[in-house]
Amino acid sequence: MRHNITKVAGRLLVLAATALLPVLYGCEVDPLVADVPPEEGSPLSADPSFVYPGEESLICHRWQGSDMTFELRQGKGRSDALSASFVSDREILQAMVDRYADSRNLGIYDLLPEDRYELPQKAVLDAGSESVSITISISTPGPGTFLLPLVLMSGEDEIGVQFIEVVVSPETDINMDWLDRTPSVEEPRFVAIIEATENDIRNAGNYILYPDGTGSPQTKRPVFDMVVLFSANINYDEMQGKPVLYFNDDIRRILDNRDIFIQPLQDKGIKVLLSVMPNHQGIGFSNLDISGDRGMINGFAAELHDALQQYGLDGVMFDDEYADYPTTPESQQPGRPMVQLGSFHFLVKALRDLMPVVEGQAWKDRHNLITLYNIGPHSNAVTGGGGWGLFSNNFENIRTAKEKTIWADDYYGNTITADRLALRQWVQDEANQAVIDEISQIEAGGLFDYIWNANYARGDAYNRSSGLGFSSEDVCIAGMTEEVAKKKYGQASFEMSLEIDSYTGKIQHAARFWQLGDNDAGIEGRLEQIGTTLANQKNNGHESIICFNLQYVPEQKDGQSVENPYVTDFPSFMTQLGYEGEPVVLFEGANYDSLVPSYLR
């Protein structure tokens, strides 16, 4: 292949049309498409090639901390001498870095500094020789994600292109003893749910809490105990006729580059969880087929478990929204019935069996977390259209269809919906009693590690909805006593979305999630003050808080320094929850802007 040296960078355009398939510790890329389709059968001759032994089909490789030896191989049917050298023009190499980053949808790469690598001046292949080794020496740069394009040229002939990724995580001075801490009402486990489409998750790890002020740096720790990647999906595969785990491009980008995005958080002791939610395909956690061998349920549990292991994650958060469950018999599709009693019970049980909790297991060793965003048909949540309370295991409420409950034929003038009616009739059918008894033995409150309130308008205790037939003493998730709920249930939850004030131009919390609403004045907002929500959290003794949609905050906007609202939120939360010290939160480390949230666009 002949290329003018000034056009070498343009060749990388081909990458955009090839499949980039990164793996856990390296990146796997399909070989570049040949300029001319090969003739049928084995060619009699071939050009020389520039390859990495053992990974001949790849053009991208991850540096593992030692010299890397490539090979210049003689072409088939050739025996002539060959002298080649590397392109050193930094402008060309930078253009290749930029296009490589575009092809992978990863705006995170810097060209490896010139003083961090050493290339041989020449690679000489003697006549009659089959190959010659080429050693690339790299020394550790500072923290960052770097790329070194290697373009080997013989005159105007391009022998080949290879890429070396160099990933260096920032060192942390966090004392890992913080993992031994016991959460409390005053110092709850903070959980950041990150919208992966818009925010670089690494920023969540740079919020650092000084519980006793900056004068006691030895006790500093990350603000967040857990970071949740939002979100993977449960999809329905028509060809296979079953639910499957699906990663969109944004989640895939993180998982396939875990040492870039996930490992730095885990190195600070932060647990990284994968959120999984339905995807408008009529399938979700609440309508998996419970008949027969429950292969659909067990298969999806196994697929989810395998993904957690493959990508080195610490657990999962179930979020049963946007399933578009069939609501009538006519709307059902093959493999996608209406809501099934026990579907979610059996799924959680199957996953817990695959990743059991070991008695006395320390928090630092937990990589088997199963958590729930409390919304959907199984829940009792007011939000999301109203839950059904199925996890309560109080199936007598469904069977008896008491007046003034959602299971009655008429609930305050509303006729029972077809999906609820079908479930009620199923429970009333004595032929199903054995399965109901099996379901009733699965106490979800004991299987979930955490259950987080999905109501950002107020911190109502256990998010109870009316019409479920529960007494005021009932806890609507079986196996969750008041004592268990204090440790597992996150009553206070906050939507952390930001906006730009139209008058001042300053970045602030989105008013509709942060300020008290006023129906009479037509102001959309919270149903109660944030202080009231925190008071409910404190009075009920809960030890976990979720913060949904933590977003990127720039250091400057329009040439002016930006005040980050998050650094004042968390000390304020702790103080209102009864913490008697003087906590300080600082943002420390790189402020990653690889993605830009919509409020800044």
- Quickly list DSSP for 99-131: HHHHHTT-TT-EEPPGGGEE--S-EEE-TT--E
| Same domain assignment for residues 198 and 148 | no
Instruction: Name the domain boundary from 107, 135, 168.
Output: 168
Residue 154 sits in a domain whose CATH number is: 2.60.40.1740
Question: Residues 354-413: pLDDT tens digits?
Answer: 999 999 999 999 999 999 998 999 987 766 556 898 999 989 989 999 888 889 999 889
473 found inside a domain: yes
| Same domain assignment for residues 398 and 270 | yes
- The structure tokens listed for 273 are 């969880």
| Same domain assignment for residues 159 and 215 | no
| Same domain assignment for residues 159 and 229 | no
Candidates 444, 463, 449, 107; CA nearest to 273 is 449
Question: Residues 224-264: pLDDT tens digits?
Answer: 999 999 999 999 999 999 999 999 999 999 999 999 999 99
For residue 341, the one-letter residue type is L
pTM for this one? 0.89
| Same domain assignment for residues 265 and 136 | no
pLDDT score at 12: 40
Inter-residue contact 164 to 70 (CB < 8 Å): no
| Same domain assignment for residues 160 and 199 | no
596 found inside a domain: yes
| Same domain assignment for residues 150 and 218 | no
Inter-residue contact 358 to 437 (CB < 8 Å): no
Residue 11 above 80 pLDDT? no
Distance between CA atoms of 507 and 563, rounded to whole angstroms? Answer: 8
| Same domain assignment for residues 523 and 581 | yes
| Same domain assignment for residues 224 and 323 | yes
175 found inside a domain: no
Taking residues 329-348, report their average pLDDT. Answer: 97
The more confidently predicted of residues 262 and 105 is: 262
Question: Residues 201-227: pLDDT tens digits?
Answer: 999 999 999 999 999 999 999 999 999
- Place 40 in a pLDDT band, splitting at 50, 70 and 90: low
Instruction: Name the domain boundary from 107, 134, 168.
Output: 168
Residue 318 sits in a domain whose CATH number is: 3.20.20.80
398 found inside a domain: yes
For tokens 């009616």, the residue is 421
177 found inside a domain: no
Range of the domain at 392: 187-600
Residue 112 above 60 pLDDT? yes
pLDDT score at 456: 86
Distance between CA atoms of 532 and 527, rounded to whole angstroms? Answer: 10
176 found inside a domain: no
> What are the angstrom distances between the C-alpha of 365 and each of 180, 192, 361, 428?
11, 20, 7, 44
| Same domain assignment for residues 277 and 391 | yes
| Same domain assignment for residues 270 and 139 | no
In the chain, the number of structural domains is: 2
| Same domain assignment for residues 424 and 523 | yes
173 found inside a domain: no
Q: Please give the DSSP secondary-structure letter assigned to residue 73.
A: E
Question: Residues 46-59: pLDDT tens digits?
Answer: 889 999 999 999 99
Taking residues 336-349, report their average pLDDT. Answer: 97
Residue 82, judged by CB atoms within 10 A of its CB (0-12, 13-18, 19+), counts as: buried
Question: Residues 114-164: pLDDT tens digits?
Answer: 999 999 999 999 998 999 999 999 999 999 999 999 999 999 999 999 999
Instruction: Name the domain boundary from 110, 133, 168.
Output: 168
Which active-site residues does the annotation give? 321
Q: At what angle do helices 295-310 and 343-354 cross, to 10 degrees?
A: 40
